[in-house]
Amino acid sequence: MRSVFNEELLKIAHEDRRIFMILADIGYGEIEPFARAFPGRYFNVGVAEQNMTGVACGVALEGNIAITYSIANFPTLRCLEQIRNDVCYHNANVKIVIIGGGMAYGPLGISHHSTEDLAIMRALPNLVVVAPCDFAEARAATRAMIAHDGPVYYRCGYKKEPPIHRGPINFQFGQALTVQDGADATVIFTGTIGYNCLCAVEALAREGIHCRLISLHTVKPIDRAAIVQAARETGVIVTVEEHNSMGGLGGAVAEVLMDEGCLDVKCRRLALPDVNVSLVGGQDWLRQQYRLDPDAIADAVRQVVQ
């Protein structure tokens, strides 16, 4: 997905001279085409993410669109104060892009995991929070990010995420996408964990349990109408995210259900437990260890429905 993002960004940059990339000594193998095409709009500030964010804010306040880009939690947690005070407070046109949301960099350990980001980023005023699930959403989200006037947090996948959508999509911030319909339960996901959800829903369908599958690619602003409609029409909501259980997608959906008075709905949140992910291994293996694999997701839905 990171290659798709960079390819799409390069296309847009040829169309829009306001686009700048500001990096902190990262991205090699993907960002060279942008650097070669636009050397005057590309800055590498070295291993200094706080400076990267400050420079991006300055570039944006001069009327440009600034993209910061790095691995997992480096463009977010390491420079959270700058994002809060410089970018969000000034509503600057800065796009914060991370590569490898969740446990995509599993073998590198907790320093390279991004498992608290959705909760932290969605708490910041003015900031859109988006997590595409496949290449189709990644391309569309890149264009929506540039078109949006204001700060955006873009949680990008790492490598070759399988396709989830079977046809063209109408992608807009704040509007969920229904991957498939069903009346027995609703599975809501965000980000690349969506493929495991799709596999789980397909397995359940073979058993006669037909689930509505929703990609809630925009965690903020959240699609309240889609959540309420799913709750009232299916009666069961299961959220799935590759993120800590505190404050992420599950919490955001639960807030909507509470605010809208949907208190008679059966709910289940599937996420990482509230622990440091100290295990080290590949992403698929880690998902299995924390019961975010297709079998575990299907089992959880099955239990709630029954």
pLDDT tens digits for range 209-219 = 999 999 999 99
Confidence (pLDDT) at 28 = 75
Q: What is the pLDDT of residues 186-213, one digit of tens each?
A: 999 999 999 999 999 999 999 999 999 9
Confidence (pLDDT) at 160 = 85
The stretch 80-98 carries a mean pLDDT of 98
Q: Which of 107, 127, 106 is nearest to 117 (CA)?
A: 127
Q: What is the pLDDT of residues 225-244, one digit of tens each?
A: 999 999 999 999 999 999 99
For residues 96 and 154, what is the distance between their CA atoms, to the nearest angstrom? 6
For residues 229 and 298, what is the distance between their CA atoms, to the nearest angstrom? 22
Does residue 143 carry a pLDDT above 80? yes
User: What is the pLDDT confidence band of residue 304, given thresholds at 50, 70 and 90?
Assistant: very high
CATH superfamily of 2-156: Thiamin diphosphate (ThDP)-binding fold, Pyr/PP domains (3.40.50.970)
The stretch 95-100 carries a mean pLDDT of 96
Please say whether the beta carbons of 219 and 128 come within 8 A: no
Given the candidates 3.30.70.20, 3.40.50.2300, 3.40.50.920, 1.20.1530.20, the CATH classification of the domain at 177-305 is: 3.40.50.920
For residue 244, give the amino acid letter: N
Q: Where are the domains of the chain?
A: 2-156, 177-305
Residue 165: alpha-carbon gap to chain centroid:
16
User: What is the pLDDT confidence band of residue 30, given thresholds at 50, 70 and 90?
Assistant: confident
How distant, in Å, are the alpha carbons of 111, 153, 266 from that of 191?
20, 13, 23
For 264, the token pair is 């008679």
Confidence (pLDDT) at 189 = 98
For 192, the token pair is 């690349």
For residues 70 and 58, what is the distance between their CA atoms, to the nearest angstrom? 19
Confidence (pLDDT) at 251 = 97
Q: Which of 187, 298, 305 is nearest to 239 (CA)?
A: 187
For residues 84 and 123, what is the distance between their CA atoms, to the nearest angstrom? 10
Does residue 223 carry a pLDDT above 80? yes
Confidence (pLDDT) at 29 = 79
Position of tokens 């939690």?
73
Q: Does this chain's domain 2-156 share its CATH topology with 177-305?
A: yes
